[in-house]
Amino acid sequence: MADFIQVLDPAKLIFAETALAFIISPFTVPAYNLPIFLFGSYVQESHDAAQSLNLFAGLLSLSIFYDVLWMIRNEQGAFLRLLTVILLLLKLPTTGSFLIAVRQRGGQFPGLGTDINGPTVWSMPGGFTSSGRDGYQTVEDDAPRAPPKVSSTPQPANQSGTYQSV
């Protein structure tokens, strides 16, 4: 399912939903759909607005819940009901594609704290990370290592400020 959502084009989805919401807007339909989709088409074109993408994805996912409530409480003709259900069903993959776009643009999901896949505040001492930072050799490195040389000569006594090797 995630692979299916990743190949979807958010621009085409939002355009189709905006057009459908515009076509059915003169009739008895949820009034909030057209403004939400117009905001989404603006946000989708803006490449520096990860926070706005986050807001749009939240509004769109919340509007799914409101659509269900609206359809329970209001009467529609069969054709309008069908178009409203199609619009509701199109919101599901659109929400997923915009959440993926939020992640790709460096945004964070509200309530989750930091990005799980992003940079961390600290790293393991000794370079035990997969990135091999700061000249440390990584654990996953398969390079052959020479065994340490053992010297039979006695080591000099510990002088002030130096460490004795074992």
The band of 108, judged by pLDDT with boundaries at 50, 70 and 90, is low
pTM: 0.59
Tell me which residue range forms the domain holding 15. Answer: 2-104
Instruction: Indicate whether 48 belongs to any domain.
Output: yes
Task: Give the count of domains, the chain.
Answer: 1
What's 102's DSSP letter?
Answer: H
- Residue 6 inside a domain? The answer is yes
**Percentage with pLDDT > 90 across the chain:** 28
Return left, alpha or beta for 137; rule: phi > 0 is left, psi -120 to 50 is alpha, else beta.
beta
30 vs 151, more confident: 30
- Cα distances (Å, whole numbers) of residue 41 to 9, 80, 81, 129: 12, 23, 24, 41
Residues 142-150 have a mean pLDDT of 65
Task: Report if residue 132 sits inside a domain.
Answer: no
> Considering the domain boundaries, does residue 151 fall inside one?
no
Question: Does residue 114 lie within any of the structural domains?
Answer: no
Q: What is the pLDDT of residues 78-92, one digit of tens each?
A: 999 999 999 999 999
